[in-house]
Structure 1
Amino acid sequence: MIRVALIGAGQRSVSHMTALSQMEEVEIAALVDLDPARAQAAQARANDRRPPGSRPIQAAIFTDYRAMLDAVTPDCLYLCLPPFAHGQIDHDLIDYGRPMLIEKPIALDMGLAREIAAHIREQSIVNAVGYQKRYSPAVQHAVGRLHGVDIGMVISIRLSGLPGQPWWRVQAQSGGMLTEQHTHAVDLMRYLCGEIEHVYAVGGIQLSREVPNLDIFDVNACTVRFVNGAPGIIGNSCAAPAGAAVFPPHLVHVVAREMVLSVNESRTVIRHADGESEEIQSQVDDNLEMNRTFIQAVGTGNQAGIRSPYDDALRTLAVTLACQRSAETGQPIPLEAFLQGP
């Protein structure tokens, strides 16, 4: 039996617990949060959502992760914190020496993220970051179809309303929409089309000036250049009217030779030059698949199947933080230098 402990009782922990409850080899042993009532509520939501036949979730609740480690001695850890909370806790859990799944965004500072990445490498622990969309069969099909194909342009636009969490609207706590939310699309752009070498961005607060305690950009427009020479466009706004949700319905669009490919976690649509099109639907829960893959890696000690290790997620973080830096300074940012740091 693999004993799992989760640190942080937000929505991502609920999703992970719901997935883990479906695995016979897993016991959800502990849930840690500074607010025990929030942890109890998260566990209750996960129990409400788990499918028939899955294992009831009866995790011990802790308010201190160090006390939890001593009392429970879990076999692996899920670190599901708001972005601003990363830091010493990451290092303490890495020193514990057990496999870790860390939710995105992994940090709000490249220096801290580089330190954590180096510590993970030093400890040689199995590690994963929660970019679950990489585990979708629709995304995997898109990867296969684009392999060896000339890429012309890559586009991702996301329009949504403002989330309700107060910390989300504070730049120092969330990193803004691009880093906290649109990061999944940026990660898919890299996964599908290769590394990004250069970014330039503009952004501002155009429609949300009356929102209390908001200092994140409510609109962003970024242009990027891939190593293969293809340009990319990343645009987002968290000031769209309520109900606008995500538009268009695909996360990433790729203009390639003889086709346009559009993909999200549930389907890939390919439109060919001759006017024909094909659609690949996925019925697989990508979050469940990511959790299964991680738990398998915990059991075997082999993380070959993990599609987003920390070192790779570091590059996605670099793209989003470099775009933010570019928008703040008005300067283009060479990504490799930004990634490596001073």
Structure 2
Amino acid sequence: MSKIRVAVIGCGAIAQRRHIPEYKDNEHVELVAFCDPNVARAEQCAAPFGAKVYADYKVLLDEIKPDAVSVCTPNATHASISIDAAKAGAHVLVEKPMASTDEEAAQMIEVAKENGVYLMVGHNQRFMPPHVKAKELLKTGRLGRVLSFRTSFGHPGPEGWSVDGRSSWFFRKEEATMGAMGDLGVHKADLIRWLLDDEVAVVGGLIATIDKETDVDDNAVCILQMKSGAIGSLVASWTYYKGEDNSTVLWCENGVLKIGTDPVDQVIVELRNGSVERHQVGAIATNEKQTTSGVINAFVDSIVTKTPPSVSGEEGRRSLEVILAAFESRATGKLISL
């Protein structure tokens, strides 16, 4: 089979640390083009592959006609670039949040369908070994129903991660559209939906800018009620200055399931009968310690096997809906039903 010709649009941190190295390691892929308004940055990424460099993604799509693209640009441009790429006949892997509005997300899904291409959203939490293990344990039924939960994602903020540091687009509302909620909160909305095999029914959100000099949110605490009735909290923060937290605790009928709460035993089951199980399955990736995200391989597998991606546009849209509802809750002071 001939290789999948992939173009990377947006050559910042997520492209450099996740997309490009993971495409490079995938035997089915040839990286053919890189695009960034900062051409020097695109050139740096392209050099090892002898790939073409572009400042304008539309010219890239027109000239290269890639089989697939990764959209790794600021949030505000995710929808327009994804739509143009799908219209050009390319499969699309778009970073999260997939869009800034529900209308945009719906349009992305529609255009991908019309053009017979796959649309996948980069929700990497589903692929991390502790989360995969936790879902397996839930599926056995030994823990019974999930009754309540808390899921949290916090770190010191994008300035330590973004290639532009403190002057990153992450802090500019016109490019980012949202802050910690779009960066971290949407990941946890996706994770809790997937882990529990359940949809969010009601959302309440306290969202604020507490410590960063920015016009986007740096902290959020949300309450969620699932369709099953389970209630819990979702926290997103850019001000966990003493270190990252990406943990989830599920209180179930027969015990508690702890994910990412212990540095050694990534998944811990404590049953009501007193027994404790500890699972060492590999760490959750952090900004400091990158591990393979699983997203790129899943996207490529979809194309190779002609199987729709598990983290489809529809899945990304449902996770985005939770975050948008939290902003609506903050604006109206009411709980929002989905």
TM bracket (short chain)? 0.7 to 0.9
Could you tell me which residue of structure 2 aligns to residue 260 of structure 1? 256
Quote the offset at 1:196 in angstroms. Answer: 0.5
**Kept in 1: contact 2:76–2:99 (CA 8 A):** yes
Match of 2:41 in 1: 38
Distance 1:196 1:39, change over 3 A: same
Q: Cα distance, 1:204 vs. partner?
A: 2.5
- List gaps (5 residues or longer) in structure 1: 45-55, 336-342
TM-score with structure 1 setting the length:
0.84
The residue that corresponds to 2:69 in the other structure is 77
Q: Which residue of 1 aligns with 2:103?
A: 111
After superposition, where does 1:314-329 map in structure 2 within 5 Å? Answer: 314-329=317-332
Q: Which moved more, 1:28-37 or 1:147-156?
A: 147-156
Contact residue 6 and residue 67 of structure 2 kept, 8 A: yes
Q: How large is the RMSD of aligned CA atoms in angstroms?
A: 2.3
Q: What TM-score results when the alignment is normalised by the length of structure 2?
A: 0.85
> Aligned partners of 1:289 and 1:144: how far apart in 2?
17
Asked if structure 2 preserves the Cα contact closer than 8 Å seen for 1:133 and 1:287, the reply is no
How far is the alpha carbon of 1:167 from its aligned partner? 2.6
Separation of aligned partners in 1, 2:327 and 2:208: 10
User: Within the alignment, does 1:136 sit opposite 2:134 as a pair?
Assistant: no
Cross-structure match for 2:195: 192
Answer yes or no: is 1:309 the counterpart of 2:312: yes
Give the aligned length: 314
Query: How much does 1:284 deviate?
Result: 9.7
Q: 1:287 to 1:76 in 2, by over 3 A?
A: same
1:179 aligns to 2:182 (yes or no): yes
For the residues of structure 2 that align with 1:284 and 1:218, how far apart are their CA atoms? 22
2:69 aligned counterpart, secondary structure: strand
Corresponding residue of 1:202: 206
User: Which of 162, 167, 170 does residue 169 from structure 2 map onto?
Assistant: 167
Are 1:235 and 2:240 counterparts?
Answer: no
Q: Tell me the distance in 1 between the aligned counterparts of 2:298 and 2:105.
A: 24
CA contact (8 A) 2:260 2:284 kept: no
| Aligned equivalents of 2:137, 2:251: Cα separation in 1 | 12
Residue 72 (structure 1) shift:
2.1
- Unmatched segments (≥5 aa) in structure 2: 160-166, 286-290
Q: List 4+ stretches of structure 1 deviating above 4 A.
A: 283-286
Tell me which residue corresponds to 2:163.
none
Give runs of aligned pairs for residues 212-251 of structure 1, distance below 5 A. Answer: 214-241=214-241, 244-247=242-245, 250-251=246-247
Matched-pair identity in %: 24
